[in-house]
């Protein structure tokens, strides 16, 4: 099996377009086949420089490596359509010779007027073949320099194919327009280029968005005219946003690369994408890329459009993070805990792992351990349910214990302090908020005794004493 992903460099990749690439990649990997990357840059007007670099970076980040394509090369190159124009012209000439295509010099104005009339008559809009009956004349016009396009002569009859995700699809050819194959600037349209390239690159399975279904009969007609065996088609449904609209650049669909900056890990993004429109048929839903390669088949793609739910990605991201081993996480966290050493991160990971949804959460959570905790006076201190006396006694006990080396045995330290507050009739879960605020600056956050151990005796004592002082001052003011 040979599949390809053929994006046009008109903007960065979003979740929907990458999911199509993922499906093509998975299908190839599952079958032990090849995955090809080809850049469809035949539209000179919409081309945005630099975007192909972005596309390449996105696929690499996700681990969707291609066997043939830009940068890696391959036996069927070049893999940029703009460098293959000679190929398209050659095959266009074949089509003309075989009577499957003809030149047309109709102006855009005439074409527009023609369509308006057809629409008014409730007919399908398609070229009326005016130029087909006057080819000698058209030839003279072309020689004289009149702009001309090459059109496919759509044969009569019906076109049918067995789509891997849709089943049998069929069209009445009479409804299909004589598609422009070569534009007047000499560049091919998508329709000619895609057929020539897919065939020359030996693509066996065309996996693309279902918006291409209506033009598939044109492509099939081209395969027939060129006497080539057509590939199998799998038209995959679109990914919708929460409002039910198709994901698009225009509607602000996020560049997939941004998910990395936001702290999502590639394996989770891949997992979430795969689950949009595909299921394993079992109850399992957490998969590594390797798992997916093993289990993915095109036949199990659900034909209905899918709404992308960011909550699902969050969940999966947390799961994938929790499944990473310490060293992987130490590596992954480098960007979000800037300036930390590997060893620091190694000590932080056990505290963070269970409580971050994205890697970026680590920045906020670890902050009080990496810098000074910011005192937030909107946080009640001592907290509700804890008297000044109890808070003071707890801090004193904690200070004394830490001075005596209590951080060497956190379990023991905790039990001692818990016993103390218990005797004063206060629940540890309530009283310990004093410690949280003292050490972390907030009543919620990382486990407080582990945090003390991370900070070390000196820093811990400093923070406890600062809190103790703050307490004295406030109770004096209060009295």
Active site (catalytic) residues:
249
Q: Is 10 in the site for RNA (CB under 7 A)?
A: yes
By CB neighbour count within 10 A (0-12 exposed, 13-18 middle, 19+ buried), where does 193 fall? Answer: buried
Nearest distance from residue 477's CB to RNA, in Å? Answer: 27
Q: CB 17: neighbour CB atoms within 10 A?
A: 24
Nearest distance from residue 473's CB to RNA, in Å? Answer: 25
Q: Positive or negative, the Cα torsion across 310, 313, 319, 321? A: negative
Nearest distance from residue 282's CB to RNA, in Å? Answer: 8
Interface with RNA (CB under 7 A), residue from 87, 153, 240, 293: 240
Q: Which residues in the 22-41 window bind RNA by CB under 7 A?
A: 40
Q: Which residues in the 45-84 window bind RNA by CB under 7 A?
A: 46
Q: Which is nearer to RNA, 254 or 475 (CB)?
A: 254
Q: Which residues in the 399-458 window bind RNA by CB under 7 A?
A: 410, 414, 418, 428-429, 432-433, 436, 443-450
Q: Which residues in the 145-164 window bind RNA by CB under 7 A?
A: 147, 149
> Cα(383)–Cα(391) distance, rounded to whole angstroms?
9
Q: Is 252 in the site for RNA (CB under 7 A)?
A: no
Structure tokens at 77: 């190159």
Q: Which residues in the 329-368 window bind RNA by CB under 7 A?
A: 354-355
Interface with RNA (CB under 7 A), residue from 309, 376, 396, 403: 309
Structure tokens at 28: 């190839």
**Contact call for residues 68 and 36 (beta carbons, < 8 A):** yes
Q: Is 287 in the site for RNA (CB under 7 A)?
A: no
Name the 3-class secondary structure at 10: coil
> Cα(346)–Cα(337) distance, rounded to whole angstroms?
12
Q: Is 246 in the site for RNA (CB under 7 A)?
A: yes
Q: Which residues in the 201-220 window bind RNA by CB under 7 A?
A: 210-215
Nearest distance from residue 195's CB to RNA, in Å? Answer: 12
Name the 3-class secondary structure at 239: strand
**Contact call for residues 295 and 287 (beta carbons, < 8 A):** yes
Q: Pairing between strand 239-240 and 306-307?
A: parallel
Chain-centre distance for alpha carbon 219: 29
**Contact call for residues 184 and 148 (beta carbons, < 8 A):** yes
Nearest distance from residue 479's CB to RNA, in Å? Answer: 29
Nearest distance from residue 222's CB to RNA, in Å? Answer: 14
User: How far apart, in Å, are the Cα atoms of 110 and each of 128, 131, 210, 379?
Assistant: 11, 12, 31, 73
Residue closest to 346 by CA, chosen among 365, 320, 328, 369? 328
Interface with RNA (CB under 7 A), residue from 79, 88, 102, 187: 187
Interface with RNA (CB under 7 A), residue from 99, 108, 133, 371: 108
CB burial readout 271-280, b (16+ within 10 A) else e: bbbbbbbbeb
Q: Which is nearer to RNA, 232 or 355 (CB)?
A: 355
Structure tokens at 155: 């044969």
Interface with RNA (CB under 7 A), residue from 73, 113, 117, 124: 124
Interface with RNA (CB under 7 A), residue from 73, 117, 119, 162: 119
Q: Is 122 in the site for RNA (CB under 7 A)?
A: yes
Interface with RNA (CB under 7 A), residue from 257, 319, 324, 397: 319
Alpha helices in 9-157 (DSSP H): 15-31, 51-62, 85-97, 108-120, 135-143
Q: Is 111 in the site for RNA (CB under 7 A)?
A: yes
Which window, 222-230, 300-308, 327-335, 401-409, contacts RNA (CB under 7 A)? 300-308
Interface with RNA (CB under 7 A), residue from 94, 285, 291, 328: 285
Nearest distance from residue 418's CB to RNA, in Å? Answer: 7
């Amino acid at each position: 099996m040979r599949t390809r992903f053929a994006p046009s460099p008109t903007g960065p990749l979003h979740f929907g377009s990458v999911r199509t690439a993922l499906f093509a990649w998975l299908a190839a990997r599952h079958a032990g086949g090849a995955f090809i990357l080809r850049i469809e840059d035949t539209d000179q007007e919409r081309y945005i420089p630099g975007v192909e670099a972005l596309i390449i970076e996105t696929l690499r980040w996700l681990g969707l490596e291609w066997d043939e394509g830009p940068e890696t090369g391959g036996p069927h190159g070049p893999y940029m359509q703009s460098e293959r124009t000679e190929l398209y012209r050659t095959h266009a000439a074949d089509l003309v010779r075989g009577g499957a295509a003809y030149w047309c010099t109709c102006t855009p104005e005439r074409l527009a007027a023609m369509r308006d009339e057809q629409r008014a008559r409730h007919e399908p809009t398609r070229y009326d073949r005016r130029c087909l009956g006057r080819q000698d004349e058209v030839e003279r016009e072309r020689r004289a320099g009149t702009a001309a396009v090459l059109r496919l002569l759509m044969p009569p009859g019906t076109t049918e194919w067995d789509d891997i995700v849709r089943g049998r699809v069929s069209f009445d050819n009479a409804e299909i327009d004589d598609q422009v194959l070569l534009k007047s600037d000499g560049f091919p349209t998508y329709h000619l280029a895609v057929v020539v390239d897919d065939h020359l690159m030996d693509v066996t399975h065309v996996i693309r968005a279902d918006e291409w279904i209506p033009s598939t009969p044109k492509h099939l007609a081209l395969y027939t005219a060129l006497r080539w065996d057509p590939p199998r088609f799998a038209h995959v449904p679109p990914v919708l946003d929460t409002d039910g609209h198709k994901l698009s650049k225009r509607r602000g669909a996020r560049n997939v690369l941004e998910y990395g900056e936001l702290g999502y890990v590639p394996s989770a993004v891949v997992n979430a994408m795969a689950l949009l429109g595909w299921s394993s048929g079992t109850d399992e839903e957490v998969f590594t890329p390797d798992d997916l390669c093993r289990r993915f088949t095109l036949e199990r793609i659900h034909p209905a459009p899918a709404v992308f739910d960011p909550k699902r990605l969050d969940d999966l991201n947390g799961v994938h993070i929790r499944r990473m081993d310490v060293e992987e996480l130490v590596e992954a966290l480098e960007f979000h805990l800037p300036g930390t050493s590997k060893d620091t991160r190694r000590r932080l990971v056990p505290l963070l792992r269970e409580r971050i949804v994205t890697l970026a959460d680590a920045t906020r959570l670890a902050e009080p351990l990496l810098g000074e905790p910011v005192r937030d006076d909107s946080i009640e201190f001592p907290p509700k349910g804890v008297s000044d006396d109890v808070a003071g006694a707890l801090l004193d006990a904690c200070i004394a214990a830490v001075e005596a080396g209590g951080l060497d045995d956190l379990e023991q330290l905790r039990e001692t302090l818990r016993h103390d507050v218990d005797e004063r009739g206060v629940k540890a879960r309530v009283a310990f908020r004093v410690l949280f605020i003292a050490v972390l600056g907030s009543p919620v956050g990382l486990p407080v005794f582990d945090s003390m151990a991370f900070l070390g005796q000196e820093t811990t004592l400093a923070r406890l004493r600062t809190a103790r002082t703050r307490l004295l001052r406030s109770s004096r003011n209060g009295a």
